[in-house]
Structure 1
Amino acid sequence: MFGVRGRTAHLAWYRTDEAPAEVLFLHGFSDSAQCWEPVIRAMPGIRALAIDARGHGESGLPDEPVRYEAHRDDAALVLSSQPQDGGIVVVGHSMGAMAAAHLAASRPDLVRAVVLEDPPTGTPGDRSDQPWSEPNWLAEVRALDLPSRIAKGRSNDPDWPDDELEPWAVSKAQVNPHLFDLTFRDAGPLTDLLAEITCPVLLIHGDTERGSLISTEYADRCAQVAAGEFRAAHIAGAGHSVRRDKRPQYLAELTAFLDRYR
């Protein structure tokens, strides 16, 4: 799937081929760049670039506080090392979506348009570095061998396509445990970032009762404050991993957006 692999500083990255990438994919917490392969495979001909976030996949982990601004700067660092063909469309999920929003807000020279799959809404007010710990669910999954992790994923989310399960399971064992020795700074409000983003934005979310972080009411708030062209796509029946829960509907939204802006 990824024909070109490389490193920039502490970051591992992957491209579909040697040509300049049209779309950058940023994964969510505890996932890896390989978790995007099922979606990329479903869009033949797309020239994609994906990055393992710091402490994830095959990327290193700088000894500094964990914050979305660092993920933003990591993405900018990798993009600056790549062959360029104008701005790129950035697609992010969860943690990666917030990193994508930060990147679009601060580096409009790099970002042509942005797709946010169920980002966190952020925390209002002053933010401070706080200690954090490995989530119990992740520790339990990491303690299993690969076949058991795949079986756990299938049990937890029986409606996910089969090709999602192995990359999901592999990525969990790749999370650097030292990540949880570092302090974490939560995101500021997503609405504040959207007020600074002037490029087109597609916000994709599911149902909060299924685990989506974005409600239709919050999506409406986002539309009201967005500085540029904005569209919210609610995919009924999906939870936090919209593309895994409802792949055909997710692909329809993503493909239409990419056809217009990449």
Structure 2
Amino acid sequence: MFGVRGRTGELAWYRTGEDAAEVVFLHGFSDSAHCWGPLINAMPGLRALAIDARGHGESGLPQEPIRYDGHRDDAALVLSSQPREGGVVVVGHSMGAMAAAHLAASRPDLVRAVVLEDPPTGAPPADPRSWSEPQWLAELRALDLPQRIARGRADNPAWPDDELEPWAVSKAQVDPRLFDLPFQEAPPLTDLLAAITCPVLLIHGDTDRGSLIATTYAAHCTQAAAGDFQAEHITNAGHSVRRDNRPQYVAALTAFLDRNG
């Protein structure tokens, strides 16, 4: 999967080969770069780069408020250290999708297209607020790896088997000091889309299964987007769309890369 691994500052990243990546992956909260491995393996020949977000995986944790534009700057730092002519396609999930949207809005020199997998809808920026470790994460972190894998299988029986171990490993890698730092809300997703001029693919699932994006909100996104915008509703999927329905997700991503890769 990842043949090259490196660090830029305190950020750990992983690349499939020596050539510059064409697609960059930004993971969601409590995941890691390796959680993208099963998807990348399902798309042979993809030149990919995945980055561990601050406080996740093997990356460090700056002592500053947690902000999506901080994640954006981290991704920009890594991409600037290994630039690709014409930019890259950035794929982000949840927290990583918001970072990808911020990156596409502010650094069009680095991003030529962006894929947003079930991002949060955002809220008007407010003063940084305190937050705490979610109970579900605390419970998972208290288990050993086989127990976490078993919990993942019980809670997500439709996930492919290869998704479970990287998901379970990533939970123990979350830096608990993350929850000592204040958290800054993101601006509304529609505001970010109004500032993005490159092609955008929004992938979302069913809200009754936990997707953050409803079809009505996706329609608002279509109206707000400044550039070429496509919303793809994938059925039988919740927040982790690619894990819940990999075949349809791969088909949607492949078609988008064929047009914009």
Q: TM-score range by the shorter chain?
A: over 0.9
TM-score of the aligned structures, taking structure 1 as reference length: 0.99
Cα distance in 2 for partners of 1:140, 1:108 equals 40
Residue 114 of structure 2 contacts residue 198 of structure 2 at CA under 8 Å; is this kept in 1? yes
Check if 1:150 corresponds to 2:145.
no
Say whether residues 1:224 and 2:223 are aligned partners: yes
**Aligned sequence identity (%):** 78
Amino acid at match of 1:5: R
Aligned to 1:70: 70
Find runs of 4+ consecutive structure 1 residues off by over 6 angstroms: none
Deviations 1:191-233 (A, max 9, x none): 0000000000000000111000000000000000100000000
Q: How far apart in 2 are the matches of 1:197 and 1:244?
A: 27
CA distance in 1, matches of 2:131, 2:102: 22
Where does 1:199-218 land on structure 2 (aligned, <5 Å)?
A: 199-218=198-217
- Letter of the structure 2 residue corresponding to residue 59 of structure 1: S
Q: Secondary structure at the match of 1:7?
A: strand
Matched, 1:259 2:258: yes
1:179 match: 178
Within 2, Cα distance between the matches of 1:83 and 1:214? 32
Q: Does 1:116 align with 2:116?
A: yes
Paired residue type of 1:189: P
State the shift of 1:14 in Å. 0.4
2-side partners of 1:187 and 1:213: how far apart? 15
Which secondary structure does the structure 2 equivalent of 1:212 belong to? Answer: coil
Deviation, 1:84, is 2.1
**2 CA distance for matches of 1:230 and 1:85?**
23
In the other structure, the counterpart of 1:237 is 236
Q: Deviations over 1:5-24 (max 9, x none)?
A: 00001100000001010000
User: For residues 154 and 255 of structure 1, what CA distance do their matches in structure 2 show?
Assistant: 27
Could you tell me whether the CA contact under 8 Å between 1:30 and 1:175 is conserved in 2?
yes
Residue matched to 1:128: 127
Q: Secondary structure at the match of 2:14?
A: strand
User: Which deviations, in whole Å up to 9, do the C-alpha atoms of 1:115-136 show, x marking residues without a partner?
Assistant: 0000000013x41100100000
1:11-22 paired onto structure 2 within 5 Å:
11-22=11-22
Q: Is the 8 A contact 1:14 1:50 kept in 2?
A: yes
Tell me, which stretches of 5 or more residues in structure 2 are unaligned? Answer: none
Distance apart, 1:237 and its partner CA:
1.3
Is 1:169 the counterpart of 2:168? The answer is yes
Contact 1:127 1:188 in 2 (8 A): no
Aligned residue pair count: 261
Partner AA of 2:58 in structure 1: E
Counterpart AA for 2:59: S
CA–CA distance in structure 2, aligned partners of residues 110 and 32 of structure 1: 22
The one-letter code matched in structure 1 to 2:28 is G
Distance in 1 between residues matched to 2:33 and 2:225, nearest whole Å: 28
Please state whether the residue corresponding to 1:130 is helix, strand or coil: coil
Q: Please give the alpha-carbon distance, in whole angstroms, between the structure 2 residues aligned to 1:80 and 1:169.
A: 31
Q: In 1, Cα distance between the equivalents of 2:40 and 2:235?
A: 22
Q: Is contact 2:83-2:110 (8 Å) kept?
A: no
Deviation at 1:83, TM superposition (A): 4.3
- Tell me, yes or no, if the aligned pair for 2:22 and 2:84 is still in contact at 8 Å: no
Tell me if the contact between 1:160 and 1:244 (Cα under 8 Å) persists in the aligned partners. yes
Write the mapping of 1:28-67 to structure 2, written as runs, cut at 5 A. Answer: 28-67=28-67
**Structure 2 equivalent of residue 85 of structure 1:** 85
Matched residue SS, 1:49: strand
Q: How far apart in 2 are the matches of 1:99 and 1:110? A: 13
Please give the secondary structure, in 2, of the residue aligned with 1:2: coil
Give the gaps of 5 or more residues in structure 1: none
Q: Are 2:101 and 1:101 equivalent residues in the alignment? A: yes
* Letter in structure 2 aligned against 1:38: P
Cα distance in structure 1, aligned partners of 2:64 and 2:143: 29
Alpha-carbon distance in structure 1 between the residues aligned to 2:136 and 2:160: 21
**CA RMSD in angstroms, aligned pairs only:** 0.6
